[in-house]
Amino acid sequence: MYVHKNTIQVLKSRISQGDSAALGELYKTSYSSLLRFGVQVHGAHQASLVEEQIQELFLWIAKNYNQLEQIKNLEAYLFQALRKRLMQAHSNTLQRKKVKVRYHHRTSSAQSFIRNSVEQDYLEAENQSEQVQKLYAAIQGLAPQQRAILHLRYFQGFDYEEIAEVLSLNQQVCRNYVHRAIKKLRKQILVLKSTILF
């Protein structure tokens, strides 16, 4: 759901004054966009982790509402904070696995992951045309940074300054990523069209 930036600024002001209803409104209006972003960047198999981190982020805001006035762009901050939380959670998960993983645990997790991936791929194949599937594969073939930037740019409506802030990159680097990603997707579409003709 696209939310007007002025609406978010008004909510930010209300939240920083302790208005819990405004925090609820922010959560409702931002949740689906944050979830799509997290899943786009970290994969559909990480959806529960993304949901958990969104909730943790809003709990932090509820406890530290008086610090919101220091945040210039709350919408960009939400995406940036979620990204950092997901990276930290992923890092923590990797560290725990290195220390505590046993063979049977790894194999059961791997089997579950493969089963979920196969089921998800099957459902997607039923619901989408072959062309859309190939385009989706091309998007998934992009680097995670490129996927994140495309999502923020075209699905969230962020400008390059906001994207640079969220991903801690230079604006020109963001522009270059978008250019290269679109160029790669165009090549994939041309290949797709040529395979359909023959």
Q: Do 85 and 140 belong to one domain?
A: no
Same domain assignment for residues 8 and 95 = yes
**Number of Cβ within a 10 Å radius of residue 183:** 10
- Within this chain, do residues 57 and 141 fall inside the same structural domain, yes or no? no
More confident residue, 91 or 187: 187
Least confident of 6-15, 55-64, 76-85: 6-15
Q: Average pLDDT of the chain?
A: 79
Query: At 21, is the pLDDT very low, low, confident or very high (cuts 50, 70, 90)?
Result: very high
- Whether residue 156 lies inside any domain: the answer is yes
pTM confidence score: 0.62
78 in a domain, yes or no?
yes
| Token duo for residue 107 | 């194999």
Max CA pair span of the chain: 64
40 neighbors 151 (Cβ within 8 angstroms) = yes
**Domain that residue 149 falls in:** 128-198
Average pLDDT score over residue span 97-107: 50
45 in a domain, yes or no?
yes
Looking at residue 119, what is its pLDDT?
64
| Residue 136 located in a structural domain | yes
pLDDT band at 104 (very low <50, low <70, confident <90, very high): very low
Q: Which CATH number is 139's domain given?
A: 1.10.10.10
Q: For residues 11 and 25, is the Cβ–Cβ distance under 8 A?
A: yes
Residue at which a domain ends, from 100, 120, 148: 100
Verify that 93 and 187 share a domain, yes or no.
no
Contact status, residue 77 vs residue 64, Cβ threshold 8 Å: no
Q: Identify whether 109 is part of a domain.
A: no
